[in-house]
Amino acid sequence: MDLFKKCDDFKTVDEAKAQGVYPYFHALESKQDIVVSMEGRREIMIGSNNYLGLTGDQRVIDAGVAAMKEFGSGVSGSRFLNGTLTTHVILEKELAEFLHKEACVTFSTGFQTNLGIISAIAGRNDLIFSDKENHASIYDGAKLSYAKLVRFEHNDMADLEQQLKNSDPDKGKLIVTDGVFSMSGDIANLPEIVRLGKKYGARVMVDDAHGFGVLGATGRGTAEYFGLEKEVDIIMGTFSKSLASLGGYMAADEKIVDYVKHKSRPFIFCAAITPANAATALEALRILKKEPERPKALLEIAAYMRKGLKAKGLNIVEHSIVPIIPIYTYTMFRTLVACKELFERGVYVNPVLPPATPEGECLIRTSYTSTHTKELMDEAIEIISDVLNNLPKTDEEVMAYWAAKHE
């Protein structure tokens, strides 16, 4: 059989494009902000992870430009060899201090951070306990480690305890969880995870990609929110969200960080983040430290949106406080049409389809920024409610509606 037969048989994209509902790869024509220009349209941006609104902050931009002028456009090598800049070292030091950890190491992307940490820390004789809704990079990191992966039901602490209880007491154990789950906005039950980790001799790692800059009195994330910074062994995060850049980090005890720096293949054999990436992340971190009101403003705008969307009769996932608000659209075609109509009306959102959700539980994922205004959110609420409340409920009805609209 031809290796590329699967490519020829892949018709999903062509079908969606033919129906005019393909939702991906819309091209930005402006910098990431609360309102953007996208394919000639003004779009209210509620589909990015720019939580603190810093990607367009002039201070962050200036820091990146200055770093490129000083160090050039790239590092031409790995951190292990010629690719370490003074900016990397300063960024790691300030991040470690901010997160109340002994040490920190940076990686080229957030995805690579999970690959690098998990594959170095865990091995063939170890066990990894992973929430079923954890990010894909956690699962791929577990595969790369060759450790045995044990999945527990989402945020189900009884199931986690049962899995731990049934495990071999002589094996090393790592419990890994998202701090904030990126699709649902759920917050991990970190107090219980920490308690179970201590009870069964397991270490705890938190992927705080969507918690950093969002939760906690100073924006340090999920561990700060629960007062458990000392009890969480490894904190992982990204620069591409609250820190307005690209890359990732691991914060932990110095001996753990040092081990990963010398054992992690995704770290050793990959070029370091560019001078501009390091400098912009560092400047964004310093702004967060100087302006701790940003996370508070972020949660306030999220609460405002939850209240406004619910008042319009929309079925939202409302049990969390974070700036991720999924809106149920149920069926796949209905979700695609809704996203298309919202885009045409000037609101950019993200479709969440199977396998990311169960069949019949499709969502529109909306996410917010600390610099969003209530006036802009009122405009978005009106458009979203008008589109969704007037859209037929079943895929068959939506198909007929869509066909009639485009005759």
Quick: pLDDT tens for 87-117. Answer: 999 999 999 999 999 999 999 999 999 999 9
Q: For helices 58-71 and 275-290, what crossing angle results, to 10°?
A: 150
For residue 356, name the pLDDT band (cuts at 50, 70, 90).
confident
Q: Decide if pLDDT at 406 tops 80.
A: no
Per-residue confidence (pLDDT) for residue 255, from 0 to 100 = 98
Q: Decide if pLDDT at 286 tops 80.
A: yes
Torsion of the alpha carbons at 236, 371, 298 and 349, rounded to the nearest 10 = -80
Domains and CATH numbers, the chain: 5-51+292-405 (3.90.1150.10), 58-290 (3.40.640.10)
Q: Each residue of 60-87: pLDDT tens digit?
A: 999 999 999 999 999 999 999 999 999 9
Report CA Rg, the chain. Answer: 22
Active-site residue 73, yes or no? no
What is the pLDDT of the chain when averaged over all its residues? 96
Q: Each residue of 206-246: pLDDT tens digit?
A: 999 999 999 999 999 999 999 999 999 999 999 999 999 99
User: Bridge-partner residues for 207, per DSSP?
Assistant: 178, 236
DSSP for 60-113, written as a single string: HHHHHHHHHHHH-S--SSBTTTT---HHHHHHHHHHHHHTT-SEEEEESSHHHH
Answer yes or no: are the C-beta atoms of 282 and 89 closer than 8 Å: no
The set of residues, in sequence order, having a beta carbon less than 8 Å from that of 6 and lying 6+ positions away, is none
Given 101, 173, 241, 372, which residue is catalytic? Answer: 241
Per-residue confidence (pLDDT) for residue 265, from 0 to 100 = 96
Listed residue (343, 314, 341, 330) closest to 402, CA to CA: 341
The set of residues, in sequence order, having a beta carbon less than 8 Å from that of 84 and lying 6+ positions away, is 75, 272
Answer yes or no: are the C-beta atoms of 19 and 334 closer than 8 Å: no
If you average pLDDT over residues 358-367, what whole number do you get? 93
Per-residue confidence (pLDDT) for residue 102, from 0 to 100 = 98
Given 130, 182, 264, 367, which residue is catalytic? Answer: 182
Per-residue confidence (pLDDT) for residue 157, from 0 to 100 = 98
Per-residue confidence (pLDDT) for residue 357, from 0 to 100 = 86
Q: Decide if pLDDT at 50 tops 80.
A: yes
Q: Each residue of 1-30: pLDDT tens digit?
A: 899 999 999 999 999 999 999 999 999 999
Given 88, 101, 173, 210, which residue is catalytic? Answer: 210
Active-site residue 241, yes or no? yes
DSSP strand pairing (324-330 vs 362-367) = antiparallel
Per-residue confidence (pLDDT) for residue 404, from 0 to 100 = 87
For residue 355, name the pLDDT band (cuts at 50, 70, 90).
confident
Q: Each residue of 156-192: pLDDT tens digit?
A: 999 999 999 999 999 999 999 999 999 999 999 999 9
Q: Report residue 313 as tokens.
A: 């009769």
Active-site residue 182, yes or no? yes
Per-residue confidence (pLDDT) for residue 89, from 0 to 100 = 98
If you average pLDDT over residues 364-376, what whole number do you get? 98
